[in-house]
Each structure stands twice: as structure tokens, then as C-alpha cells.
Amino acid sequence: MKIANSKHYAKSLVAVGKECGCFNELYDDLKDVSGKLDANLDFKKVLLNKQVSFARKQEIVKQIFQDFIGERTYNFIFLLLKHEKLALLNEILILARRMNLSETDAVEVVVETAVPLSVDQEKAIAQILKQGIGVNAILRNVINEGLIGGLKLKIHDTIIDSSVFGKIFRLKEKIEKFE
């Protein structure tokens, strides 16, 4: 008997998302569920408890999330519950996001800024990345007030730091080398 791992569930999630054209909605719903589970460990323990019946877990999930998630999201959560794989939800989401991006030839780029980016700024950054390094970027803006100004980009394992804080830090390192 073959045991399904996170990768299989991630592939299924991407396939369902492509089929209905709703991957982003599914992903966002599941990310929200995952966040709520991580925030309430007692609730998560109940759902992971093998002594609690599958039917009871279904009732609990429907009761808690009835106004927040769609039918496909329920079905995916129920699938994970039935096969006792809910603990893998975060890992499944990470893999599904990567798979979906790779299929669309897009790359998630984390943009750290001191203040939120405007829509025009996001478009400009995406265009620069497209022209400069040939990347179809899906930007995720993360606010980091410690940057003071400028921005820091993370593309896969590469970090491009053009923040004021980063420049000051590099200047400090150069000065310390000469002392």
C-alpha cells in the first residue's frame, strides 16, 4: 500500500485549482485555515486527535469555518482529515505554491519595504524584474520598518538589498575593515 506524502496532496491541490480556475482562492482559504489552526493549538489538537471520529471533525470544521471558506476548501480539508494528514497542511501549501508558480513560469518575489508599496510601484518593480532578469514576478510585499527606506528583494535564495539600513550596514563593515 502506497502512502501519500505532502507532494501528492500539493499536486492534487494545484490540479483542482487549475481545473476550476480558482487556485489562488483555494490557497488563500487554506492559508487562512492554517493560520487559525496554528493560532489555536487546542483546536488543532482536537482535529489531529485519532480518538475523535472523522464525522465529528467534519462537524467541527464546518461549524468553525462556515462563513469563511468555500466548498472545495472544505473538501480538501476533509480529505486531509480522513487520511490524517492535516498536520502537513503548511508543507502542502508551500509545495503547492511552488508547483503552481513553476507551471505558470512565475516566481514569487518577496519585497521588503518600510511602507506598503502602491499598485504602480508593484507594477514598476515587476516590469524591471521582467526586463532585467527575465522573471515573471508575483510580488509579496512585507513591511519591515527597520529598513528605513529603499527595499530588499528576495528571489529564491538571492537577496538584493538596496535599503537604507543595508547600505549603512555595508558602509559600517567597510569602515571597520580599515580600522
pLDDT tens-digit series, residues 2-33? 456 888 999 999 999 888 888 888 888 898 89
> How many domains is the chain built from?
2
**pLDDT of amino acid 4:** 63
Residues 55 and 91 in one domain: yes
Residues 123 and 84 in one domain: no
Burial class (CB in 10 A: 0-12, 13-18, 19+), 179: exposed
Residue 1 lies in a domain: no
Residues of the chain whose pLDDT is less than 70? Answer: 1-4, 104
Cβ–Cβ < 8 Å for 142, 112: yes
Residues 46 and 61 in one domain: yes
CATH number, domain at 70? 1.10.520
**pLDDT of amino acid 1:** 36
Residues 77 and 63 in one domain: yes
Phi and psi dihedrals of 48, rounded to 5?
Answer: -90, -10
Residues 127 and 168 in one domain: yes
Residues 28 and 95 in one domain: yes
Residues 93 and 10 in one domain: yes
Residue 136 lies in a domain: yes
Instruction: Count Cα atoms within 13 angstroms, Cβ side, for 3.
Output: 3
Domain span including residue 155: 105-178
Cβ–Cβ < 8 Å for 7, 70: no
**Domain end (from 100, 124, 157):** 100
**pLDDT of amino acid 108:** 81
Residues 95 and 118 in one domain: no
Cβ–Cβ < 8 Å for 7, 88: no
Q: Cα–Cα distance between 96 and 93 in angstroms, integer? A: 5
Residues 10 and 94 in one domain: yes
Residue 30 lies in a domain: yes
**Domain end (from 53, 72, 100):** 100
Nearest to 111 by CA among 133, 132, 139: 139
Return the SS3 of 72: helix
Cβ–Cβ < 8 Å for 67, 33: no
Extended beta strands in the chain, E state:
106-113, 136-143, 151-155, 158-161
Grid cell at residue 103: 507551471
**Domain end (from 74, 100, 126):** 100
